[in-house]
Structure 1
């Protein structure tokens, strides 16, 4: 049996200097578009390590800390876990704490999706990207992008 997911995760908004945002389509829910998300692998995994790992696993982008730098917004959202995904968590767990990061990348960067997790990707201007997200906290983070990257 797979261990239960830890109800603490990261959200990584990937964007260009022009504020075009990369969205990826979930394989387990076609039509559900989002930024990179993922739970901690261990309770003591540092958030930056989780964000770096998830960014690479889901897009192939390597945050090297020099050319591609993850930015911790020091912002957390607590939200109700969608009922369709609650079976992944321990019985009685209904909320998740999500920590927000962003990363600016060159527009032409190669994207390599994890086929187990995602079907497609697209780049959209940030307002359109926010409208396309199924997750309210993801959409809100994208809307905050212009203020966060100044």
Structure 2
């Protein structure tokens, strides 16, 4: 669904392997800015899990099954970077981002959306956190070991 403005509610999906390798993506519109999969809801009534599944597929080509995405129960409210505020309705300055995890097998094929990302890297979780341009993304990656313990 094409919208005039983005909805200020989004997902962040930390894609990782069992041995804590994290998939990082370099933004096409901001070379040097690395992140996890992110994206806004397409419609106000779109379920967050569906947003996460759709964004993972669009950005990486990875098909996440319904039960594969784990809602970490974390939400970050942050100020939208001024460079991206034009994408939102006038007066919208903050976004709420909901964090999900997606464990995939090592060697999972990644097919980038070239309009969104230039390249990808699999990195150990601490290195991935250090590479994130967004503090909320870095914080999410740093939660990965705790999340896996909680899910065990």
Short-chain TM bin: over 0.9
Cα RMSD of the aligned pairs, angstroms, is 1.1
Which 5+ residue runs of structure 1 have no aligned equivalent?
Answer: none
Shift >6 Å, 4+ stretches? none
Is 1:139 the counterpart of 2:138? The answer is yes
| 2:78 aligned residue | 79
Which 5+ residue runs of structure 2 have no aligned equivalent?
Answer: none
Is 1:60 the counterpart of 2:61? The answer is yes
Distance 2:3 2:72 in 1: 31
When normalised by structure 1's length, the TM-score is: 0.96
When normalised by structure 2's length, the TM-score is: 0.95
Distance 1:65 1:5 in 2: 25
User: How far 1:115 sits from its partner (Å)?
Assistant: 0.4
Secondary structure at the aligned position of 2:10 is classed as: strand
Show CA shifts across 1:39-93 (max 9, x none). 0000000000000000000000001236xx1100121100000000000000110
Show CA shifts across 1:13-57 (max 9, x none). 000000010000000000000000000000000000000000000
User: How far 1:10 sits from its partner (Å)?
Assistant: 0.1
Number of corresponding residues? 148
